[in-house]
């Protein structure tokens, strides 16, 4: 199983290897930046953030290919990328818990409903998948809510890491359970209560 792209790779070369060269001007631009928990990739256009993931996420190549079907992706930055990097830096510095970023949510209506609910969760708190399903008015849809949580392509900003098992156990996180634990601990230290 692949651990995802090489975090030290050249963005242009990596994108070309995954997607081939864009057949024309890129509509979406991808840039890497460093965080205390590893490098992240942001894909944005001039108006919205389409993807934000830790670079080692195993599903990243699939996510990029799916996104490329919506618009050609090339290396580069936009004002949205710069704003995203600044907001993520502020989050890790303990200066901000909320993100005021324009997001492009690529998912079903149900997934988008789950992602909007995740954005309502205050930093420093966690809920169970069952509670997430209850909050969206679908208490029987626990597994579907968990799948939607896992399909989130905008890590940290849409805080899927704040959802845990009913027994309090850390479960599934595309960026790795160690990162989920680190994000929850960071928020408990800097933003709780």
The full set of domain ranges for the chain reads 11-92, 109-190
149-175 pLDDT, tens digit per residue, is: 999 999 999 999 999 998 888 888 888
Position 2 pLDDT exceeds 50: no
End-to-end CA distance of the chain: 40
130-143 pLDDT, tens digit per residue, is: 999 999 999 999 99
Residue 152: predicted pLDDT: 95
Predicted TM-score of the model (pTM): 0.90
Closest CA to 103 of 126, 87, 90, 92: 87
Q: Considering 52, 68, 160, 163, which one is annotated as catalytic?
A: 160
Annotated active-site residue 160? The verdict is yes
Domain 11-92 fold is Double Stranded RNA Binding Domain (3.30.160)
Question: Is 109-190 in the same CATH topology as 11-92?
Answer: no
Beta pairing partners, 51: 43
Domain 109-190 fold is Arc Repressor Mutant, subunit A (1.10.10)
DSSP 154: B
């Amino acid at each position: 199983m692949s651990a995802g792209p090489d975090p030290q790779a050249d963005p242009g070369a990596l994108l070309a290897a995954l997607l081939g060269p864009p057949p024309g001007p890129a509509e979406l631009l991808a840039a890497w930046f460093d965080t205390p928990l590893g490098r992240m990739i942001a894909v944005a256009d001039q108006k919205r953030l389409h993807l934000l993931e830790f670079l080692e996420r195993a599903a990243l190549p699939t996510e990029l290919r799916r996104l490329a079907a919506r618009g050609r992706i090339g290396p580069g930055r936009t004002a949205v990328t710069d704003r995203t990097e600044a907001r993520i830096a502020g989050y890790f510095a303990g200066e901000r818990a909320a993100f005021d970023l324009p997001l492009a949510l690529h998912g079903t209506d149900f997934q988008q409903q789950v992602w909007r609910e995740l954005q309502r969760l205050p930093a420093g708190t966690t809920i169970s998948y069952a509670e997430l399903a209850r909050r969206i008015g679908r208490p029987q849809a626990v597994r579907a809510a968990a799948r939607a949580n896992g399909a989130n392509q905008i890590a940290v900003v849409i805080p899927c890491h704040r959802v845990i098992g009913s027994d309090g156990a850390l479960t599934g996180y595309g960026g790795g359970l160690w990162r989920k634990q680190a994000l929850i601990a960071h928020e408990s230290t800097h933003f709780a209560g």
